[in-house]
Amino acid sequence: MFKNLLQGGAGDQQTFVEGKECFFKHPEHCWLLGLVEKVLPKNQFEISSLDEYSKVGRITVKADDMAPVVAGIKEEVRDLLHLPYLHDSALLYHVRQRYFRNQIYTNIGPILLALNPYTYEIPHYKNDRMPGYIREGSSALYGKSSQIPHSWGTAHEAYWLMRTKGQNQSILVSGESGAGKTEAVKIVLRYLATCSTSQASAAIREKVQAIADRVEATSPILEAFGNACTLLNDNSSRFGKFMTVEFDAMGLFTGAEITPYLLEKSRVVQHAPGERTYHSFYQMLSGASQEDLDRWHLQRDPQAYSVTKGKVVVVETVDDVADYRAVREAMNLMGMMEEDEETVYRVCAAILHLSQLQFIERA
Ligand SMILES: Nc1ncnc2c1ncn2[C@@H]1O[C@H](COP(=O)(O)OP(=O)(O)O)[C@@H](O)[C@H]1O
Ligand SMILES: [Mg+2]
């Protein structure tokens, strides 16, 4: 019956009748909601789109590329597991509807699906909503939260499962480049630090916050030396990251350990047209003082070095000067010694100089 319901076949003539809604597969927009206008020969149907977010007119579709709109399937849900049936068409319908209503987060049981909104200005996801999640404490476990889906919810569940069960928890963040993984990890970390001190005294909260600030300060540093502009993401992490977040017996955030792995080393030497090498090179060339550049024997122009030269050296969404300052401040906050910072940038300068070496064949 399920097969009949979803894949057509003998049941098509009853499943898809004129004047009834259906889901149909569109070559560009994937699954959309439509209305069966006409039943055509050879198991084909003329469909008009009911999708309000695209300009699709009428289209002829084969039964194989259609799915029925069963009772209740269009009803709003926060958790896709509550749908009357699970099929690409219905899943994508809901995710699409929610995205265009600025509901970028959707639960699938314990999994959180996030679609990148490219803005932090959505009112119901602003930081002032975080206390609502924190206040729920251990009562919000196992999907019982009354809050709307958010990365905070995932962090909350992990934190309270750890507290109540006394067991380690893992959060796996996965998605294609530019999907929002790096940002999601930052959101989760900030929540864990805040949540862990929600019942602590002001003095303890201040102490934990200082640790959280240092953990947060790892981001600009790691991103300067491990992130780059690619065609898909202006701040693409070119390495994987395993992070352990530690708590004491009281559940207070005590620190984090980060293991980066599989850095794309070849990018130091070469990058595709329209992309850049690692941010740090552009940051130091545009952000360092003239005195520093002179000491490193560097010119300010990224086009002067084969590592940094290319079609794209300035990116609209990236402020290399401000980021250079942020990295130096983060290094200070992490307790790096002035000499160590200098050494790091001298290594970068050496790479820039090495890229200028000319190899001449011996006669
Ligand atoms: N939750 C979010 N809210 C707002 N903007 C986001 C969010 N997640 C990602 N972005 C935007 O998308 C860009 C790419 O996200 P990023 O986390 O770097 O992707 P990934 O790590 O998956 O490659 C970020 O620089 C940011 O501008
Ligand atoms: Mg990333």
pLDDT tens digit sequence for 275-295:
999 999 999 999 999 999 999
**Backbone phi, then psi, for 289, in 5-degree steps?**
-70, 160
For ligand 1, what atom is nearest to the CA of residue 104?
1
d(CA 341, CA 325): 13
Residue 10's pLDDT is: 40
Ligand nearest to the CA of 226: 2
pLDDT at 54: 93
At residue 142, does pLDDT exceed 90? no
| Ligand 1 touching residue 185 (CB < 6 A) | no
pLDDT in tens, 61-84: 999 999 999 999 999 999 999 999
Q: What is the mean pLDDT of the chain?
A: 93
pLDDT at 323 over 90: yes
What local confidence, expressed as pLDDT, does residue 12 receive? 46
Q: What is the mean pLDDT of residues 48-57?
A: 94
Greater pLDDT, 135 or 142: 135
Confidence of residue 348 (pLDDT cuts 50, 70, 90): very high
* Predicted local distance difference test score (pLDDT) of residue 2: 44
Smallest CA-to-CA distance from 33 within 52, 16, 17 is with 52
Are 132 and 156 in contact by the 8 Å Cβ rule? The answer is no
Phi, psi angles (nearest 5°) of residue 218:
-70, -25
Cβ–ligand 1 contact at 107 (below 6 Å): no
Judge whether residue 270 has pLDDT over 80.
yes
Region of residue 19 (left: phi > 0; alpha: psi -120 to 50; beta: else)? left
Query: Is 177 close to ligand 1, i.e. is its CB under 6 Å away?
Result: yes
- Judge residue 166's burial from the number of C-beta atoms within 10 Å of its C-beta, 0-12 exposed, 13-18 middle, 19 or more buried: exposed
Domains delineated in the chain: 2-68 (2.30.30.140), 80-85+101-261 (3.40.850.10), 267-354 (1.10.10.820)
Helix residue ranges per DSSP H, 136-201: 151-165, 181-196
- Confirm whether residue 25 is marked as ligand binding: no
Contact indicator for 192, 253 with CB cutoff of 8 Å: yes
The tokens for 82 are 């509550």
